[in-house]
Structure 1
Amino acid sequence: MKQFVIFLTFIILSVTANAQSAEDSVKAVVNKMFDAMKNSDGATLKTTFADSAILQTIGRSKDGKTMIEHDTVDEFATIVGKMPKGDADERIVFDVVKVDGPLAIVWAPYKFYYKGNFSHCGIDSFQLVRINGEWKIQYLVDTRRKTGCN
């Protein structure tokens, strides 16, 4: 019986360690994207995305209606690459990270600072896919607001 308990404990610890390792590797890709933003490195930023990635922002029009803006990875990388280094500083908190085989999700509240000044906040929602042994961002959608940022 004692051997069974030791074996069961070992299995639980192994599963927990593997889950943590997968979560850490997902977080590393997201952090790499934000580091690339902060360093104005559009080329590195592009490596964090899948070839068919979708980028969207949910916002409000002047009359208050919900609207969805679409960007491409190339557009995003070009904008980032043209910014002076250090101007774009998005600070996130990993609230939820879930992994199931080759699929991962990240829910991350953020605050965005431009040239050291608070600009806006919201939520980043990522869907990542493990492609050829590497995590890639397949879908990124975010919200943006100026108030209600804790």
Structure 2
Amino acid sequence: MRPFYALLAGLLLTAAAAHGQSPASDTEAVKQTINRFFEGMRKTDSTLIRSTLAPTVILQTISNRGGKTQVQTENVAAFLKAVGTPHQGVYDERISFERVLIDAQLASVWTPYQFYVSDKFSHCGYNSFQLVKLAEGWRIAYIIDTRRKDGCK
């Protein structure tokens, strides 16, 4: 009987350890990473933004030019320079977390947003974030968004 109790104790300890990495704590950590990204934009702090990004991050936007849908890839270094260089107005992207899905080291997050420069409305749309859990924590690996001026929430 002793091997049975040893096995049972091992299973219970494994279950308790797995429970310690609760989905709720991962969900909050994912949200914190995304919130830090936008905090960096508001503060004109490219170092803070960079700390939220995976080394091979991809930034894309879906646009409609001349009635044709296009996907544009943004240069990450140019993006960091643009948001990290002093400029008029505060870049303020106001998001809400509509959906956060997590499986192991992958998170997918859907956020409607409204973008303001200081208090002046610029555009709105949806962000789709893909995050990966690295040794340093959750990092943004991919962002794609839509942008429009009307039909906003």
The residue that corresponds to 2:95 in the other structure is 92
Distance in 1 (CA, whole Å) between partners of 2:45 and 2:26 is 25
Per-residue Cα deviation, 1:61-96 (whole angstroms, up to 9, x for no partner): 1x1100111113211110101143861000001000
The residue aligned with 1:109 is: 112
- Measure the CA separation in 2 of the matches of 1:60 and 1:83: 29
Kindly report the root-mean-square deviation, in angstroms, between the aligned alpha carbons of the 2 structures: 1.9
Runs of 4+ in 1 over 3 A off after TM superposition: 14-17, 83-86
User: TM-score scaled to structure 2, two decimals?
Assistant: 0.84
- Give the Cα–Cα distance (whole angstroms) in 1 for the partners of residues 27 and 89 of structure 2: 27
Q: CA deviation at 1:16?
A: 10
| Alpha-carbon spacing, 1:17–1:102, altered in 2? closer, same or farther (3 Å) | closer
| Helix, strand or coil at the partner of 2:31 | helix
Give the total of aligned pairs.
137
The percent identity for this pair of structures is 42
Question: 2:24 is matched by which residue type in structure 1?
Answer: Q
Could you list the per-position Cα deviations for residues 16-62 of structure 1 after superposition, in whole angstroms to 9, with x for gaps in the alignment? 9811111000000000000000000011111111111100000111x
TM-score, reference length from structure 1: 0.85
1:42 aligns with 2:46: yes
Give the alignment partner of residue 37 of structure 2, picking from 24, 33, 37: 33
| Residue 69 of structure 2 corresponds to residue 66 of structure 1 | yes
